[in-house]
Every structure is written in C-alpha cells, then in structure tokens.
Amino acid sequence: MLHTKSDFEFIKGKLAHKLQPWKAGFDVLAASDFVSLNYVANPQIKIVRGGETREEPDPDNYSNAFRDAAAAYQLGLMYNLTGNTKYADKAVQILNAWAITNKSITGNSNKFLASGIYGYQFANAAELVRGYSGWKTAEFKTFQNWMLNVWYPMALDFLQRHNGTCATHYWTNWDIANMTTILSIGILTDDQAKINYAIDYFKKGIGNGNIFKAVVYRHKVGNEDLGQGQESGRDQGHATLNISLYGAFCQMAYNIGIDLFAFDNSRVLALAEYTAKYNVDTTNSVPFLPYKNCDPGIEHHTVSSAGRGNVRPCWELIFNHYAKIKGLKATYSQQFASKLRPEGGGGNYGPKSGGFDQLGFGTLMYSR
C-alpha cells in the first residue's frame, strides 16, 4: 500500500552499497525494539479508547493495538528489505493473534480515533507480508474478515454520521484517519467500491476530511502557496498529524494509480507548506483568516502556538514526492525533513499515542 515492489528493489540497491541517507534510515529501523524476534504481542478482545466513561466502564488499553501494529509493520519492512523470513513469521504471528482474538473497538467518541489510526496501520502491516508463503491462505482470509467486520463498519459509520453531530463538528484528523482505514481495507480486500468511497470522500465528502474543508484558505504570499488548515487554529500537534495522515492516504492512492498529491493544484502541498513553515522555525509567521465550524462554540481568529514545533516523522514522504518526483518547490517541508533526518517510527517519538500515530521511517522508505 505505502510501498511497492519497485520501491523495495530501489532501496535494497542503495543499502547494498551503504549509500546515505538510506543506510541511516535502515540503521534506525534495525535498532528498533519492535523488530525483535522475541517481541510478544498482546491482542485484546476489545480495544478500548475512551474508557472509564459512561459508554465504556473498562480502562483504556489501545496502546496494545498501536504498539503491535507498529511492530508488525516494522517487521514487515525488515522482511522485505532483508529477505529474512523470521521477520515475516513474527509479523504474521502478531497479525494472526489480533485477527482471532479481537472482536470490537469500544469507548466514548474517541473509539473512532482508534478505528481510524490503528486500522490503516494493521492493514498496511498485513499488505507487507501478504504474499509471504508462510502466511496461510485461510489465516490471511481470517485477517481480511477481521478488518471487514471490526474496523470497516466503524470507520464508515463515523464518516457518514459523525457520531450524531453536524458534519464538520469533528476535526480533520478524525475524518482523514477513518478515510485512510477505508482506503487501506479496500486495497487489502481488493474491493474497488471501498477504494472509490474513500477517494470520493477526499474530493467531496461531507466532513472535514474533504480536502477543500481541511484546507480552509489558500494564502498567496509572494511566490508561496500556503494552505491554512482547519486545525491550524486549534493546536500544532493535530495540525501536523493531518500531514501524517494525508501523506499516507495520498501515497496509498498514488501507488494504485490515483494521484491525489496533484489534486486541485497540489492542495495537500499547500497544507504541508503552511504547517511546516509555522512549525519548523518559530521565527516564521503565517497568515490566518478567521475560521468556524458548524458548532457556534468553535471559532478561531489566530493561528495556535500550542504544540508549536511538534515533531512527527511525516515530512520525508511529502518532500520527496513533491520535490524529487514532481519537481515542485517544497521549501518548508524540505527544511523539516532535513531537520528530522533520519526519520524513525513508532517507538522513536515517545511511548504515548502521538508517537505511534504514523508509521514513519520516511528517510529509508521515501528518499529519492
């Protein structure tokens, strides 16, 4: 999904000659605790995010999902880059354990963050070992059914109903996360209707995952095209999360022949450049026009400095696609990618959920 066979061949060629920055990126992956062949998964019967609440009395346990999804993904990368089947066996072991154990995702409204963020991560991990001969056909089918029966209904329900609220009540990241899960499930299960639904939502969905609602204004500042995000006035932790999620969404679409990076004159790039400019250097300023959503209580009049400088391993994907593949200017995304190089992934950016919101390893996987 995020990586093609030709991507892996390209990267393996660079690693064979110990070329940078791929070697530095691989070294971060190889040093990760999550690629240990002794890693032990901890699947849960129900994933709880938003627990100890009226809707769900049990406590949160969703860290088990994001840790195990990160492990399966990183093991899948190692398998594809080294050919060592022990990594594939461990990834399959993790994925099978979740598919036969987990039955539901529960909690208050935050359960829909779980369905979005961890759904696409599990699906991407599975796609990395999909063709591995050691993953039995029946086991893979069980995994597909798990994604279809547990993850897909929740993601679809959120995008259609938004938990019973008005369509733009929830921030962009809630929508794009669940859109990304639906797209990944569509690819994993070879279901064109699901793929089409996710792509159409990106272009004209009712919620803030619609790229025209996610980028509320485009500011022309000299020769810069800066896209003010729907979450720019909220805080920068979530503003940068949207770059992680849109990057993953567009990359998966691109790899199946749909170029959303280029959509509406590279609207995603405008969002990335605005967000990167404000966060990569605190002396930078960005324009801001007032924004309000469908709720009378949400109205922003200035860009938020909360969480400014937030670090996420998402910039190599954006910079390399636009600058190296498309030949476009991506000034501030390039600065952020350079600042964070080599990017790590889950486990390298803290133990809490924010450090696992993206799969990472962009220096290794996206450098061109």
Average model confidence (pLDDT) across the chain = 97
Q: Give the C-alpha separation, 360 to 71, whole Å.
A: 12
The pLDDT assigned to 298 comes to 82
User: Angle at Cα 48 formed by Cα 117 and Cα 43, nearest 5°?
Assistant: 80
Distances (CA, A) of 7 to 116, 261, 264: 26, 18, 26
360 DSSP 8-state letter: B
Residue 15 binned pLDDT confidence (cut-offs 50, 70, 90): very high
CA 355/CA 296 separation, integer angstroms: 32
Reported as a single tens digit per residue, the pLDDT across 223-257 is 999 999 999 999 999 999 999 999 999 999 999 99
Return the percentage of the chain with pLDDT > 70, whole number. 100
> pTM of the prediction?
0.98
Q: Where are the domains of the chain?
A: 5-366
Supply the pLDDT for residue 295: 85
pLDDT of 306 above 90: yes
pLDDT at 297 over 80: no
Q: What is the mean pLDDT of residues 324-345?
A: 98
% residues pLDDT > 90 (the chain): 98
Q: How confident is the model over 290-301, as a mean pLDDT?
A: 88
Q: Which tokens in the block code for residue 117?
A: 């963020």
| 3-class secondary structure, 41 | coil
* Mean pLDDT calculated for residue range 303-321: 98
Rounded Cα distance, 130 and 117, in Å = 20
| CATH architecture of residue range(s) 5-366 | Alpha/alpha barrel (1.50)
